[in-house]
Each structure stands twice: as C-alpha cells, then as structure tokens.
Amino acid sequence: MVSFDEVCKRIFTDPRWVPNALIGGVLSFVPILNIFALGYQYRYFEQVHRGGGFAWPDWNDWEGLFFDGLRLLAIMALYGFLPVIVALWMVHLLGWLSLEIMGHPLYNTALVSPLALLAPLWTVAILYAYQPRRRWAVLGRPVLAWLMTRAAWPMFFVPALAFWGLMWLGWMVFGFVFFLGFIVLGAYYTRLFLEIESRGQTRGVRG
C-alpha cells in the first residue's frame, strides 16, 4: 500500500512543482480566479486516478480548467463544507436548548473536529467516484463516502492531521497553503482509493 511519505516524495521531486504551486497559490487568493486553481487540482487528481503518476501538469485549456473547478467546488461544498456547517449549527442549537452548556468551546471542538478531519477525505472519495463517467447522480450516494472512508480508515488520519496543522500554521498565506496542501492530500487519497479498489475492498464506486 502506498505511503504518505512516498507520495510526498514523488510530488516534490518534480522540479515543476514550484512554479505550478506558485501559480495555483496566487490564483487561490482571488475570488472567481480561485476556480481555475480548483480546476487544476481536479485535473491533478484525475491524472493520478488514471494511473498517470504525480508529475505536475501544465496550466492550459483555461476554459476547461474553469469548468473542472466548478465541478470540484460543487463536490467540495456538498461533502466538505456542508457537513461542518451543519455540525456547527447543531452545536449552537444544542447550546441554546441547554442554556449554553453545550456551547462551550470544548464541546464545539469535540463535535466539529472529527467532521473537519473527514471533510477532505469525503470530498476526494466522491470526486473519485464521480470522475470516470462524470455522473452527478454520484453526489446523491453518500454511502459511497462512508464505504470508502471505512476502507481507508487506517491510513487517512495522520495525513489529515498534517493538512489541518499546515492550514493552521499557514493561515496568513492561506491561498498557497490550501492549494499545495490539498494537492498533496488529494493525490494521496486518490492513489489510496485506487489501490483499495484494485484489491476489491470497495465495490460499485464507479460513477
């Protein structure tokens, strides 16, 4: 089974990672233009999914990048942002119903943090199921995210912690940190799902 260290090594031994990461990081700071950065991430994960390796692709076909970015944004909103937002809403609701006893920051952390850790994994899991045939019906099958999470459970935790730790440390340069961090994490998860599927541990994940 591929290791996180091995994926990082293969990503950062490509000399093109620096200019490509700089372009993606700059675009990630700018509203609307950040959709192109998401499109690049989408294509990078698709390349890994097809067995194309971890070489950094060129920035081209900007129209296609934009629409690929919208696809990733839709999946990210539904399986990345929405669960965390719903959890935060539930925490505040429980706090109001219990006279703010549940509104303590400790409860917020305990209830919301697991979902935040899982959000990137769920996003990449559904993206992995969506990409082969690009069928939006996949988004209505949250059981796929659960099955793939269960299969990847032993290997996902430490990389997820590293991603969020990097996000916390680099919040002042959020665009660069998110672009590079999610490239690495998403590529690792995609390769992990590819190997899990090849071993027959998950079935019926193709869109």
**Each residue's pLDDT tens digit, 111-166:** 667 777 888 898 999 999 999 888 888 888 888 888 888 888 778 888 888 888 88
pLDDT band at 94 (very low <50, low <70, confident <90, very high): low
In a domain? residue 203: no
Is-contact 159 3, C-beta < 8 A? no
| 8-12, 87-91, 116-120, 173-177: which is most confident | 8-12
pLDDT of amino acid 68:
97
Domain that holds residue 191: 4-198
Q: CA-CA distance, 152 to 94, in Å (whole number)?
A: 31
In a domain? residue 204: no
Is-contact 87 112, C-beta < 8 A? yes
In a domain? residue 48: yes
In a domain? residue 99: yes
Q: CA-CA distance, 31 to 20, in Å (whole number)?
A: 19
In a domain? residue 92: yes
pLDDT of amino acid 172:
86
Query: In whole numbers, what is the pLDDT of the chain averaged over residues?
Result: 85
Q: CA-CA distance, 40 to 190, in Å (whole number)?
A: 15
In a domain? residue 21: yes
Closest CA to 202 of 137, 126, 111: 126
Number of domains in the chain: 1
Q: Please say if the pLDDT value at position 206 is more than 80.
A: no
In a domain? residue 207: no
In a domain? residue 206: no
| Proportion of the chain above pLDDT 90, given as a percent | 48
Q: Which residue has the higher pLDDT, 24 or 151?
A: 24
